Chains A and B, each alone.
Chain A
Amino acid sequence: MTKHYLPYILLLIMLLWHAVLFAQERFPRPEFESGYVYPEYQQPLQRSQAWEYIDVGVLIAALSVTSWLALKKRSRQGIIWMSVFSLAYFGFYREGCICSVGSVQNVALALFNDGYAIPLTTLLFFLIPLVFALLFGRVFCAGVCPLGAIQELTGFKPVKLPRAVESVMAAIPFIYLALAVLFASMKSQFIICRYDPYVGIFRLDATYTMIIFGVLLLLAGIFINRPYCRYLCPYGVLLNIFSRFAGKHLTITPAECTNCRLCEEDACPYDAILPSNVDQVPVEPVKSRKRFIAYFLLIPVFAAAGGLILFNMAPALAGIHREVRLAKEIRMEKETGIEAVSETAVAFKESGQTEDDLFANEIDIISRFRKASPWAGIFLGLSLGISLVAMTTRKTRTEYKPHQGKCYSCGRCFRYCPVEVNNKSI
């Protein structure tokens, strides 16, 4: 009985790590006159490089164990254990950083800026889960990602969303990924980290709006399981693509599927089970072929349209850059006479930098956005086109199997399969 409690006891112990977090809040210095000398280090020293590699080692180990639990052992309980471990280690102990989800931005920044050398460990955090996805499916989401783990542990009462809502929401991660890469490569913002809803909970240190956002997502996640993974996670887009080509993937049934359809309705809250279609005869094959060709030819049209729309949006998107916002504020001050009082504006005025320099820099940033934004639009157009083409093809399936792109390898479906139930009873 004790072993069932152990994951939770472990989680509780790791949560107590928070004692150190409160030391970091800034506080005005006292005006000492007693000759008190401030300590040389007033901020925590950087973590040793060795620990970075230990993190990579833990990541590989956790991915390996989760793959074994999901594909070989087929243990939902084991995957929950891994979630608890990952939440404790990568979430509360490592405070959600570095994480593979955010590493997308480091990679984008490094790809498009010569001045930034990406740390090897960051690159490994980006690549290793993708390699595992290519080998075994989205095992990273199943039990290693701390963001996924915290949602997995709080998803008690899963309900399915209407298909229409699901379709609209599923587009968001693609947009989020395109924007995150664009903003990171333009040296503007790391929006994935900035708007990470759970990192504030891991650190107990974030703006209240972000903590409230995280808590609301967790509350919503009780019913709409893994809301961040499904409707926001940009890294999930890449994992989704890589996982489709996975050499081995979790299966619903441990043996031959009997097509009993018991997993069809409730087994997967993520709608990631593809039903058998062996009994359904293809209708109007000629029409289907024509539709396929039409959608296929539309792919470059969608890509071009996406590029054009994002090109048009570039100046608005450039507004996320600090200097563009500052220039806007200073221009407002000049035009309306209302004093710019933001901290950035005050710092700018004190720095002695000229307005001409600021406005010239603003133009330069907008120009760079003009060049880069269409690529983000092309990516979105291509994603839409390819998705539509995928919906015109028909693959014959003789059994119920997970959708390799959408399946989080969480193992919820295991216990719905009577084949496994029978095996257990034997």
Chain B
Amino acid sequence: MMKLTEKEISILKSISQIAGVFTVIVALTMIFSFIQLKSIDPLDNPALLELKEQYDKDPDNVNKAEQIRAMDLMARKAYYATRRQIETGSYLLLAGAIVFIICQRLITGNEKVLPSVPGDIPDLALKQKRGRQLLMISASVITVGAILSSFLLRSNLPDIRTAKTVKVEKSAAKDNTGYSLADNEKTVIAAEEFSPDATNYPFFRGQDSRGIAGGAGYPTEWDGETGLNIKWKLQVPANGKSSPVIWGDKLFVTGANGTHGELYCIDKNTGTILWTASASEIPGEPSVLPEMDAEAGLAVSSAAVNSNSVCAIFANGNLICLDHYGNKKWALNVGTLENVYGYSSSLLIHENTLILQHDSNERLSIMGFDTGTGQMIWETARRGHPVWSSPVIATFNSKTQVVINGNPAVTAFDPVDGKELWSVDCLSGDVAPSLAVNGTMIYAVTDYQKLAAIKPGAGASVVWEDNTYTSDVSSPVANNHILVIATGYGDVACYNPQEGDTLWTHYFMEQFYASPVIADNKVYLLDRAGTTHIVKAADTFELISVSPLGEPADCTPAFSDKKIYIRGKNNLYCISQD
């Protein structure tokens, strides 16, 4: 340490004192500014909130919008001004503290070392004895404190012995009601709150497009080549990638030859084609087919059906709607559906509103049509880029909503008026898988990106995400206990839907395009070679059976009245044990 004169030390002491006082003043000012900052929420300004309320009632009022913008900007400016004060203050505080520390160290370093003159040599034995006594006293004080706090802090916590009994009783009760299977506690039920119909499988991936089938007793073993459990087999007149949908005894599937699209109504019990509806020569139909993947064709989107209508859309934009007897109710062209791979979104019907996800390079929107008249009821623009996913219906907090896995946002719309309910940015790139939905969350995935679990609603947010297993075409399926993803490289992964932990994974050799379906506590996984792998819908992997179709298949199976309907590359199969 350098040597300083008395005068220099005196100067340092003065500087140190000034720096100390300065530091204290700055600290107090900062505390005041900080409290002020904490109490300000720039967007919680009553005047601003009132203006926003007025604007909500009169959304076309441009002046109000401008006023809101100006006030919003002003509030933010004020907020940032306070923050700048704190920022500047912190530098001043640091500078003051450093000067103080430097001065003090220099002063201390120059103080002469004057060791105290030692007194008598301390009695070390006595010192040890006192040490032991003090340690025992300390330990006693701490022990008493610990015992007291263990009783004081325990209030309002459950007695775990009683709670365990209750837990056991509860699970026993579940067993009695058949809610859970007694032989395996880990077995889960496909859907608790969501109870899909056992007969009607009205959309792509069934009711609400969730990939969960109602009913039970579906076959687990079949062979398309030997005919084992194949009730009937029908060569569909025209090729297509659309999946079968079912209402009552009627199954509907689309196909296309070149530029000509058709909708087929088939008796689901016999495999007889009841009627065929053409979807050609509709005003507005483009003379040149839009750009599309060579393998896909016009009939990729699955039809949608309800009690009085069946609707189908084709990649040239032709949209038709008929009654269950093949009588055309209306037909129109929704405009060119030009996108990189060709249009593939399937239709939904909510009450009597046909919901169409419109994805083309020129226009991104969601549309609602009256199934009776074909009149467009509403259309809401969407932001981002075209995708190849299909909309799903979800219900959260008793609010039914149509949700789209888009790029970049997962967005929910009100099916009644098309208004956007919430949106959260999530994925980018080529988004083809549709969403999985359970009682609490929504799951979005696309390949080379990630799997994201989204908490829906106002302030929607991504709860967890993972990029180990992602699918490119196949859509995930979820209930409240498992989330299953079948990937384009043969891996199938099962996640804990709440936490995102991987529960199990299995490699199946073949790619998956068809979406997995949960039915009767089993997950049906149809690979591209046409083989269905049936595994237990549980948090541990258990393969139940492997059943080949005998031909490749990319379409998602349909489930109805103990029968499974699978569309292969050429044929449609009805699989039944009866």
Residues of A within 8 A of B (CB): 1, 4, 8, 11-12, 15-16, 18, 22, 25, 27-28, 30, 38, 77, 115, 153-154, 156-157, 163-164, 167-168, 171, 175, 204, 208, 215, 222, 261-267, 275, 277, 279-280, 282-283, 305, 309-310, 312-313, 315-316, 318-319, 324, 328, 331-332, 350-353, 356, 359-360, 362-363, 366-367, 370, 384, 387-388, 391-392, 394, 415-416
Contact = CB atoms under 8 A, between A and B. Distances in A.
Contact of A309 (B83, B141, B147): B147
A356 B143 CA distance: 36
Given A363-B164, A363-B167, A391-B135, 5 more contacts: A171-B139, A266-B116, A309-B147, A328-B156, A353-B498
Interface of B: 1-2, 27, 31, 34, 41-43, 72, 76, 79, 83, 87, 90-91, 94-95, 98, 101-102, 104-105, 107-108, 113, 115-116, 118, 121-125, 128, 130-132, 134-139, 141-143, 146-147, 149-150, 152-154, 156-158, 160, 163-164, 167, 170, 396, 425, 439-441, 455, 457, 498, 501
A22 B87 contact: yes
Given A163-B134, A167-B135, A28 B153 contact: no
Nearest to A77: B1
Looking at B76, B122, B130, B135, which has the most chain A CB atoms within 10 Å of its CB? B135
B153 A316 contact: yes
A391 B128 contact: yes
A316 B150 contact: yes
B90 A280 contact: no
B142 A388 contact: no
A8 B131 CA distance: 40
B98 A11 contact: yes
Chain A CB within 10 Å — which of B107, B132, B425 has the most? B132
A265 B119 CA distance: 9
A62 B137 CA distance: 40
Contacts of B72: 30
Nearest to B38: A208
B138 A350 contact: no
B1 A157 contact: no
Contacts of A319: 153, 157
Contacts of A175: 142
Given A331-B156, A366-B158, A168 B134 contact: yes
Contacts of A18: 90-91, 94
B101 A280 contact: no
B157 A388 contact: no
Contacts of A310: 146
Contacts of B396: 352
29 contacts: A15-B94, A16-B91, A18-B94, A27-B79, A28-B43, A38-B425, A156-B107, A157-B108, A168-B138, A171-B138, A261-B118, A262-B115, A275-B124, A279-B121, A280-B121, A282-B125, A309-B146, A312-B147, A315-B153, A319-B157, A328-B157, A331-B156, A331-B158, A350-B455, A350-B457, A351-B440, A351-B455, A387-B135, A394-B125
Helix, strand, loop or mixed for chain B's interface?
Answer: helix
Query: Among the interface residues A12, A156, A222, which one has the most CB atoms of the partner chain B within 10 A?
Result: A156
Q: Please indicate which of the listed interface residues B42, B124, B396 has the most CB atoms of chain A within 10 Å of its own CB.
A: B124
A275 B31 CA distance: 48
A111 B306 CA distance: 57
Nearest to A366: B160
B467 to A, nearest CB: 15
Contacts of B457: 350
A28 B72 CA distance: 11
Contacts of A115: 501
B104 to A, nearest CB: 5
A159 to B, nearest CB: 13
Contact of A315 (B102, B118, B157, B440): B157
A370 B141 CA distance: 23
B132 A363 contact: no
Contacts of A154: 101, 104
B408 to A, nearest CB: 9
A416 B167 contact: no
Contact of B2 (A4, A153, A168, A360): A4
Contact of B131 (A265, A328, A391): A391
A314 to B, nearest CB: 8
Nearest to A212: B31
A280 B138 contact: no
B83 A25 contact: yes
Closest 9 CB pairs of A and B: A352-B440, A316-B153, A167-B134, A313-B150, A265-B116, A262-B115, A261-B118, A168-B138, A363-B163
A11 B102 CA distance: 10
A366 B87 contact: no
A204 B97 CA distance: 14
Contacts of A315: 150, 153-154, 157, 160
B160 A367 contact: yes
A350 B439 CA distance: 12
Contacts of B101: 153-154
Contacts of A351: 440, 455
A171 B425 CA distance: 51
Contacts of A331: 156, 158
B116 A208 contact: no
A309 B143 contact: yes
B141 A168 contact: yes
Contacts of B425: 38
A215 B157 CA distance: 36
B156 A359 contact: no
A157 B111 CA distance: 11
Given A280-B125, A316-B150, A265 B115 contact: yes
B76 A30 contact: yes
Residue with the highest number of chain B CB atoms closer than 10 Å, among A77, A280, A316, A370: A316
Contacts of B116: 265-266
A286 B279 CA distance: 109
B118 A262 contact: yes
B458 to A, nearest CB: 9
A370 B160 contact: yes
A241 B275 CA distance: 87
B85 to A, nearest CB: 11
B54 to A, nearest CB: 16
A200 to B, nearest CB: 11
A316 B167 contact: no
A400 to B, nearest CB: 11
A156 B106 CA distance: 10
A351 B163 CA distance: 24
Given A153-B101, A164-B134, A275-B124, A1 B2 contact: yes
A282 B156 CA distance: 56
B20 to A, nearest CB: 11
Contacts of A415: 113
A160 B498 CA distance: 55
Nearest to A162: B134
A353 B440 contact: yes
A208 B34 contact: yes
B138 A263 contact: no
Nearest to B147: A309
Nearest to A150: B101
B69 to A, nearest CB: 9
Contacts of A363: 158, 160, 163-164, 167
A318 B138 CA distance: 25
Contacts of A367: 160
B157 A283 contact: no
B179 to A, nearest CB: 13
A264 B124 CA distance: 13
Given A156-B104, A360-B167, A388 B135 contact: yes
Contact of A391 (B104, B113, B132, B141): B132
A263 B160 CA distance: 57
A355 to B, nearest CB: 12
A292 B162 CA distance: 46
A366 B154 CA distance: 11
Contact of B128 (A8, A275, A356, A392): A392
Contacts of A8: 98, 102, 105
